[in-house]
Chain A
Amino acid sequence: MDRYFSCKDIYRMLSGYIDDEIDTMVREIMEEHIKECERCLSLLHTLEKTIVFSRETHRRKKVPERFVKKVYYEIRIRYKR
C-alpha cells in the first residue's frame, strides 16, 4: 500500500472513522498513520471520549407524570368531540 495520509487528512476524516463511515482500505491506511502518530492518536482518543462523556452526562430521564397528564388534558379540552 503506497497511499499516505498527512495529519491534516486524518483530522478531516476522524469523525467518519468513529462513525464507521470510511471504507476498509482507507481505514487501514488511517490506522497505519494513527498507530505511528501520537498527536492523531490523542486526537482520536479525546474525540471519542468527548462523545462518551456527552452521552454519560445526558442519560435519559424519566418524564414527570404531571407533564404527560398536562398533554392529555390539553388535547382533550381542545379536540374532544
Chain B
Amino acid sequence: MTKQITAWIQAAPMALVLLAFLVAPIVMIVIVSFWGATEYSIYPAFQFDNYQFLFGSPVTYTVFFNTLKYALITWALTLGIGFTVAYFLAFEVRSLKWQIALFLICTIPFWTSNIIRMISWIPFLGRNGLANSTLISWGVIDAPLEWLLFSDFSVILAFVHLYTLFMVVPIFNSMMRIDGSLIEAAKDGGATAWQTLCHVIIPLCKPGIMIGTIFVTTLVMGDFITVRFMSGSQRANVGRLISNDISLLQYPSASATAVVLLVTVLIVIGLLLRLVDIRKEL
C-alpha cells in the first residue's frame, strides 16, 4: 500500500462524517431556502419568496443589527478581559506549576453545561437577587434595578461569562511562545513596560487574538439560546429568528435566514482574515 492510500483511508472517517453532517446539511439548507411552505408542510419549489420576505421586512435589519451589536460588544469585553487574564498567567505567574493550575481553573467551566451556567445567573441578577439586595443594603440604590435580568445587559454578561475562555486560551498560547529574550531586549533598550506591551507583546499575540476573535464572534452570531434565555424572550438576534421559524414549522423561511446568517458570518471572518494576514503570522 502506498503512503497516499493509507493516508486517504485514515482520513476517510473524518471526511465522511463532515460530508454527511456538515456539507450535506448546509447544501440542504440552501436548497430548502428556495422551497415553499404551507401551514403544516413544505414542498419543493424554486422561488425567491423567502428571501423577498426576509429582505422586505424591517424586522430583519433590526435583528441583524442587534446580532452584530452583541458580537461587537462581547468581542471588546472578552478581548479586554481575556488578554489581561492571559497576560497575568503568562508573564506575572512565574512557576510553570502555578501557570498550569491557574490555567486549568480558567478552563474547567468550559467542560460544564452552558445552560446551567446561564441559569445560575438568575438568583444573582433577579429583582430580589443578590446584586440588587446588596446594592440596596449598601445604600447605592433605593429600588431594585430592573435592567439587571432579561435585558441586553444580562445577555452580554452571559456571553462574556461563557466565551471569555475562547480568548484566554489562544492568547495565552501565543504569549507562552514569545521568546523571553525579546522582552529582555526591549527592557535593555530602555522600553517601559507599557512600550514593551504595545510594541512587542501585542504584535506577537496577533495570531492568538485573531483565533479568539473568530471563535467569539462566530459563537455569538450563531447563538440563539443565550439570547432567548437571558433576555426572557424580550430581545432578538438572527438565531432566534431562525428558531422561531423552526418552531412554527416554517423550514424554508428558517433556511433562508440561515443562509443569510451563514453568509454574514463568512463575510465577518473574511474581513477579520484580511485585517491580519494569518498565514504570515503563523
- Same assembly: no
